[in-house]
Amino acid sequence: MKNIFRLHCVCIAVTLLFIVPICVASDEVGEGLSAEPGSVLPGPSATSEDVMDLGGEDTQAPKTDNIRPRIANLVSNPKQPISGSPDEEFGGKTVLVVIEAEGVDDDGDYPLEYNFAPIGGAASGYSQNNKFAIDGAPAGNLRVAVTVRDSRGAESEPMTIDIQIKGKGGSAESGESSGSTGSAPPTAKKSEDLDKNPRLAQCLCQIWGEDCRYEKDDRYEDPCVCPEVVKRDGKDVIEWRRVAIATKGDRYDECIRLYGSGLQTAPTGDSGKPIPGSSIKEEEPNNDKGDANQIEFHSPVGVSGSITPADDVDYFRFYVESAGMLEVKLGQVPEEMKARIDLYGKNFNWVTRVDASNPGDEVVLVAAIPGPGQGFLAISDLNRKAHPTDYSFVVDFQPAADDGEPNNQAGDATDLSFDQTITAHICPVDDVDFYKLYVDSAGILVVGLDRVPDDMKTRIDLYNKNMAWVTRKDASNAGDEITMEVDIAGPAAHYIAISDLNRLARADPYTFQVQFRPAPDQNEPNNQVGDSTDIGLGQSVSGYICPVDDVDFYKIYVDAPSILEVKLEAVPESMRARIDLYGKNFNWITRKDASNAGDTITLESDLSGPGSYYIAVSDLDRKAHDQEYDIMAVIRSG
């Protein structure tokens, strides 16, 4: 398998085009890789076991060498903004990054399919026709996942491309020089505001990469820290570097939209305690999970308690009847309390936590709950102090009740009916919803998502009856409505999988419908000459060209030399017809092609003697059609 990547970065301010080819090597193509010193991006070595075996319907597909590749930058310009080579300074301007790929499979005849997806906090982009583009990528680390698929459906393990785009002086500022010891960069939010909204701060830091985090330290100007792989004594080691908070761009706007500039807290009464739909007061002892106070979700629930004595931990138990999104807002915190919220699963297993950056900070935890079942919350002080005043929080649960669950595996797929509106949820994180349908004939399948959550970047995958992957449709942007239209064989079962490319969870549902336009050809299977359908002379026969690349064979018998006329009528408007004629020994004799789609055509040929003859009908454009054609063969004396 031979692969070539090309990467372009266009600086918006100066509209320069940089081309950086990147080679992907399989076990077959190890030679020819060269790079500037230090430019090879580390990645796990690959073996043939890394190939996903997606066998065909009737026979197992042979293994391919589409293994997890090694990737290297071939840098022709020594000042490219690529990790591992000298950095280009863009003065903080955003850039257009385009990655293009091309290659052929091991047979050397069929092009490979490349799919790209930004990882973590990377800017959003689009992937289409072996090309991936992000318009407006800011300074920082841009991480993109790449998978390669060959003509037989085998797909490589994902590999990662890391592109380091640095602003002037190594920061992400707009038009101003900054560095680790320079002047403070301009920021959209004062650090004091970010300290009060850690979710916003974390979101802004993760614009540079999913592993970046908000970690304010008064000794440094930049509040974000990001890991960077560097060489030390010939080994790869991780070092943490300081990065300025993001100040603009699409991802910045998205963080502000999701988390705002401040926290929302529950309404309070004269005592300062929250008064949502219902409220409870902590009751000791509840410093063990087995003694946790019960929370009932009838509406947003206000809870108050106190951390006393020192080392106190307050546990609360809740029960949910479905998957969904849990939100805990710890909005009233004693001034000296550096709060922590921990979440535990139904088996007392720790799930996640959120810590305050400073004493007195408000804290918000948002998590996807797989449900149904119980869960636990724990409130504590990171500094293990006791506090004379109460804390209070508001906890809310938005159910993502999905009647089809569990259906996150093909074996648990939910049965579908055509023209039925399905409402479901992608929850928890990494959820995939499988659906199963059955068709009585070949035809055209249409899957349309007409309601999509704003933050869901949808993927639709189609699998055949043997769970061999067939095709997919990806949304270009989060919230896009998408439709997949594909021809399928039948009668047979097929499987549809719906997922989120960004691997997020949410309580908002999606809805979709599945429609099917049958192409019920009673003469099938007749796509090989040995399976030809017998027809009589002067008999009109109807057939369908479906699925793609279908060929319909018919057999006639003549008892004397004669002139044959084969008439193809009622041709579908989008079908550019072809008629082929074969002799009794399956030898090709002649053909007739339509000039335009939808044309009626007639083939005429002299037949040399008695015997069987074979007629083949196909579409020159290799399309599938859900409308039938008519064919009739007649003879006349020579």
pLDDT band at 128 (very low <50, low <70, confident <90, very high): low
Three-state DSSP class for residue 173:
coil
Arithmetic mean of pLDDT over the chain: 73
- Say yes or no to pLDDT of 447 above 70: yes
Residue 428 or 40, more confident: 428
Match 């070539």 to its residue by tokens: 4
Rounded CA gap, 29 and 497, in Å? 34
pLDDT band at 268 (very low <50, low <70, confident <90, very high): very low
Q: Residue 116 is which amino acid?
A: F
Q: Which DSSP string corresponds to 414-441? A: EE--TT--EEE---STT-EEEEEEEESS
pLDDT, residue 443, reads 87
DSSP lists the bridge partners of residue 194 as: none
pLDDT, residue 546, reads 87
Contacts of 15 (CB under 8 A, 6+ apart): none
- Say yes or no to pLDDT of 280 above 90: no
Whether the ω angle into residue 406 lies within 30 degrees of 0, i.e. cis, is: yes
Q: Best-predicted range by mean pLDDT among 182-186, 260-264, 321-325?
A: 321-325
Residue 182 or 102, more confident: 102
pLDDT, residue 95, reads 55
pLDDT, residue 137, reads 59
Average pLDDT over residues 204-233: 77
Whether the ω angle into residue 509 lies within 30 degrees of 0, i.e. cis, is: no
Q: Residue 614 is which amino acid?
A: Y
Contacts of 175 (CB under 8 A, 6+ apart): 91, 92, 168
Domains and CATH numbers, the chain: 2-170 (no CATH), 191-259 (no CATH), 278-399 (2.60.120.380), 410-518 (2.60.120.380), 529-636 (2.60.120.380)
pLDDT tens digits, residue range 480-510?
999 999 988 888 999 999 999 988 888 888 9
Rounded CA gap, 234 and 468, in Å? 43
State how far the alpha carbon of 39 is from the alpha carbons of 75, 84, 415, in Å.
8, 4, 50
pLDDT tens digits, residue range 352-402?
999 999 999 999 999 988 878 899 999 999 999 999 889 999 888 888 877
pLDDT, residue 39, reads 27
- Say yes or no to pLDDT of 407 above 60: yes
pLDDT, residue 445, reads 92
Q: How many other CB atoms are there within 10 angstroms of residue 462's CB atom?
A: 18
Contacts of 366 (CB under 8 A, 6+ apart): 199, 325, 326, 327, 328
pTM of the entire predicted model: 0.44
Token pair, residue 576, equals 């550019």
pLDDT tens digits, residue range 505-540?
888 889 999 999 888 888 888 888 888 999 999 999
pLDDT, residue 264, reads 35
